[in-house]
Chain A
Amino acid sequence: MSTAQLIQGNEACVKGALAAGCSFYGGYPITPSSEIAEQMVRLLPKRGGVFIQMEDEIASLASVIGASLAGSKAMTATSGPGFSLMQEHIGYATMTEVPCVIVNVMRGGPSTGLPTSPSQGDVMQARWGTHGDHPAIVLAPASVGEVFDLTVKAFNLSERFRTPVILLYDEIIGHTRESVVLPDSVDITNRTHPDVAPEDFWPKEAPPAGVPPMPGFGDGYRFHVTGLTHDHRGFPTNDGDIAEALITRLHQKIETNLDEISEVETYMLDDAEIAIFAYGIVGRSAREAVIRAREAGIKAGLIRPLTIWPFPTAEVAAAAQQVDTMIVAEMNLGQLIGEVERAAAGATEIVSYLRVDGEPITPTVLLDLMMPGTGASS
């Protein structure tokens, strides 16, 4: 076991990526994610990897997809404005089933917004920013240590399911330094390579909810890559049955494996009468507020998704059945609250606390919401 060290979330992201086997970084620096690029450019070449600063974020993700097709584990990191530019290629990587990791360190928006302030404004964009029916895996760490763990998980899930995985955290998580003890080694998942001869290989041949094996360019397997709807040979088709089967499979390979993907933390929830639903840095405020509320004799609890997409509907529904009130706290004007309401289906009273002034939601305000006599407590 290593000793405790004081590092930033963005540093933990780099350490997690390298531990997971990342060997390619293509990106364009942007606050508040720039420390990731700054450290990658120092560390990757020394390990035989490649760092390239592209001309913009469209090209950045294109380079990542290309590197992954050639067999590398590849990533990029950005913030809102760059994340917007990446949307087209997120869809392309989803359709072509190219593993890659995209980090979005959220800052205030829209547009260039508040570059140095935290936000959770990109939660819905991470789910629906790219067009068409598509699945999404989005992980939301709440601490420096969790950034490390979930960066590793992001790489592993992207390799396991041949899909882009988005790591979504805010400026506070990116920049705050915390004492962490990082593991000496981590469990690594690698993409499955074909076990047939090149002449017998079809690049997109897979069972209904399956993940096709993936050779690298240059491994001796010839394959065609296209964002157009394609058949098992990888070539475009307008056949409706094939289109439906492909889109359904892209979803089902994720949805039938939620036990590998979904992660939800609960804290003091067992006998809670009032719960806070929060993620990312707000989850940390909520945990502190729950601790203080319990000290004040209030039966408070926390439900915090680490995987925000696919949304943990079952877990939120179960919590909603149990508590009288659920406070949803987000640094946006209400994004995941819609999913919470859908999952709760009227089983509990839902109260929102939303903030978009670039300042964090503090434990004190969440505690005040839970104190008797306020709107949220019964």
Chain B
Amino acid sequence: MGRNEIRIAGAGGQGVVTAGRILAEAAILSGSHATHSQVYGPQSRGGASRSDIVIATEPIAFPLADNIDLLFVLSSDAFAKYEPELGPDGTLIVDTRCAPESLNGDTPQYAVVDTARAVSGGQLVTGVVALGVLQAHTQCVDAEALRQAVAARVPVQHTKMNLEALDAGMGLVGGESS
């Protein structure tokens, strides 16, 4: 892995920005270099929100996403906004609720939003469930490092719930991890 660009895109309130920070922090704990950028402005107040994470073995020259390797979409608005920007070599993962009927049948789909609701009763841990899926699906960071990063970033009273959300996300990925 030279340089890996990951975009997690969803709706405001799903914890997409926090998830991106956690992923970058897990990458650092794994010994990689990492950057994290997010959208500021009206998008972060309810519309499509996103986190871009660059993970690399070498120091990162350009810290922003330039050619997304993996796009993880968690809302219909985010799908409409960011899917068209994904290049032909980019990998797409979508939440089952926001996958349009026209979507290529080979695109991995996971019930991230529903799982987050089952774990927390709401949407706040959606991003963390997505991190579990992402880790199990791609091994882009070490699972234990990700666990540590989640515990270090979320409020202490919510650690247990977030770790459950992470495990639930990992559990969504069956034997099909690539």
Which residues of A line the B interface, CB within 8 A? 4-6, 31-32, 115-117, 143, 171-172, 175-179, 281, 284-285, 287-288, 291, 360, 362-364
Contacts and interface: CB of A to CB of B under 8 A. Distances in A.
Interface in B24-82: 24-25, 27-28, 33-38, 40-41, 60-64, 66-67
Contact of B21 (A117, A177, A360, A362): A177
A175 B27 CA distance: 19
Contact of B64 (A4, A117, A360): A360
Contacts, number: 63
A177 B24 contact: yes
Please report whether the interface of chain B is mostly helix, strand, loop or mixed according to DSSP. Answer: mixed
Given A6-B28, A6-B34, A364 B61 contact: no
Contact of B40 (A171, A281, A285, A360): A171
Contact of A176 (B25, B35, B61): B35
A178 B61 contact: no
A141 to B, nearest CB: 12
Query: Among B21, B28, B36, B66, which residue has the most Cβ atoms of chain A within 10 A?
Result: B66
Given A6-B34, A115-B41, 18 more contacts: A6-B21, A116-B40, A116-B41, A143-B63, A172-B37, A172-B63, A175-B37, A176-B36, A176-B63, A177-B24, A178-B34, A178-B36, A178-B60, A179-B24, A179-B34, A288-B62, A362-B62, A362-B66
Nearest to A360: B64
Interface residues of B, number: 20
Interface of B: 21, 24-25, 27-28, 33-38, 40-41, 60-64, 66-67
Contacts of B64: 172, 176, 360, 362
Contact of B63 (A32, A115, A284): A284
Given A291-B61, A360-B64, A362-B66, A176 B34 contact: no
A177 B35 contact: yes
A285 B62 contact: yes
Nearest to B22: A6
Query: Among B21, B61, B66, which residue has the most Cβ atoms of chain A within 10 A?
Result: B61
B60 to A, nearest CB: 7
